[in-house]
Amino acid sequence: MDNNKLIEEKFVVEINKVDLIFNKNSKKEFKALEKLDIKIRNGQIFCLLGPNGSGKTTTINLINGLLEPTHGDITVLGMKPSKSRKTVLRKISLVPQETALYNDLTARENLLFHARYYGVNRKYISKKVDEVLGIVQLKNRQNDRVGTFSGGMQRRLALARALLTEPEILLLDEPTLGVDVQSRNAIWEQIRTLALEGKTVILTTNYMEEAEALGEQVLIIDKGKPVKSGSPNELKRYIGQKQMIIHFTDTTYAKQVYDYIAKDYDVTFKGNQLNVNTNTLNIQFQLLQQLSKYEKHMSHLDYSEPNLQDVFLHFTGKELRD
């Protein structure tokens, strides 16, 4: 039991103080990643959240060994991907952004080709293809050409292809890019199931709701630099407190109450409303008791808490990206 716990606690991916510089010592020198630190546990869904060009795919390429860090260390399942590339690639699977499927082959032919190229045991190829087609619910369309598939179906098929080789780590680069809500939910469900089965899932996204829905651990990355990491709740707590929003029937009363509580509470005054930072239920209860004499001048109460988008914009700013 202790041993199992020990295995579960092991980091499957460790990135320590990694810098990645393209065209070093030339005029075109470009720092793609800077001081990147990531530790991912076995069976975790780890989410890299960042705007376009922030270095998400570059990080994925470091993990799969396509790139080598300029400084720092990276280990995947205890191995350096650039040195033990073949062994690492046997244990990881990537679903790239562009799905990488042959449009003129059927879904089944695509999977059969990949399994044969990868070297899946010939005896089990057909069974394995059936199995993964079942997982992504594409069995009924297995003999249709991929060119006729919707974006969501193609992404599900790409996920099936990644599962053919029974990887320990799944790298999903923007897994729901451009798909409809139904397909997105189906893909999320499949990702959760895979994590429950013990697979480590590393995904990149620039969709807040995706990071919030899936990420047990989220790293916000911007311009190649790690900005903040934590669980979605930790991140939200970091940038702001829960707020109680008190609406008054008139601005005059709002001002009066503001003057009354400003010395005791973190409060802002906006027209006929007051925004009061209230982290605990206790504070909220205490405040409402204090304001009972103004009850007839209060129209209604709202509660708000920061979402991941607020967190994201807080850390990455509002400037447009390329």
Give me the least distance between CB of 193 and other proteins, in Å please.
22
Rank residues 104 and 180 by Cβ distance to other proteins and give the closer one: 104
Instruction: Report the residue from 14, 21, 79, 89 that binds other proteins according to the rule CB under 8 A.
Output: 89
Q: Is 310 exposed, middle or buried (0-12, 13-18, 19+ CB in 10 A)?
A: middle
Place of tokens 């991912």: 40
Q: How far is Cα 209 from Cα 238, in angstroms, rounded to an integer?
A: 18
Angle between helices 151-163 and 125-135 (to 10 degrees): 140
Tokens of 302: 């709202």
Q: CB-wise, 211 or 274, nearer to other proteins?
A: 211
Q: Which runs of consecutive H residues, i.e. helices, occur in 48-124?
A: 56-63, 85-91, 107-118
Q: Residue 311 has which token pair?
A: 């967190």
For other proteins, the closer CB: 50 or 215: 50
Which one among 79, 105, 135, 239 touches other proteins, defined by CB under 8 A?
Answer: 105
Q: Dihedral of CA 309/313/315/319: which sign?
A: positive
Nearer to other proteins, 97 or 278 (CB): 97
Q: Which of residues 9-68 bind other proteins (CB under 8 A)?
A: 22, 32, 52-53, 56-58, 61, 64, 66-67
Phi, psi of 266 (to 5 degrees): -85, 95
Residues 265-294 that bind other proteins (CB under 8 A): none
Taking alpha carbons only, the member of 27, 24, 34 closest to residue 58 is: 34
Strands 200-205, 169-173: pairing kind: parallel
Minimum gap (Å) between residue 318 Cβ and other proteins: 21
Using DSSP, state whether 32 is helix, strand or coil: strand
Binding piece for other proteins, criterion CB under 8 A, among 115-123, 131-139, 178-186, 258-266: 115-123
Residue (91 or 314) nearer to other proteins, CB: 91
Residue pair 67/20 in contact (Cβ under 8 Å)? The answer is yes
When the beta carbons of 93 and 278 are compared against other proteins, the nearer one is: 93
Is there binding between residue 142 and other proteins (CB under 8 A)? no
Task: Name the minimum Å distance from CB 6 to other proteins.
Answer: 28
For residue 315, give both structure tokens: 């850390």
Segment near other proteins (CB under 8 A); pick from 70-78, 101-109, 212-220, 245-253: 101-109
Q: For other proteins, which is the closer residue by CB, 3 or 52? A: 52
Helix (H) or strand (E) holding 29: none
Minimum Å distance from CB 154 to other proteins?
11
Least Å distance between CB 190 and other proteins? 18
Mention every residue, 6+ apart, whose C-beta is less than 8 A from residue 210: 47, 176, 184, 188, 203
Give me the residues that bind other proteins (CB under 8 A), please: 22, 32, 52-53, 56-58, 61, 64, 66-67, 85-87, 89-90, 94, 96-105, 109, 113-114, 116-119, 122, 161, 165, 173
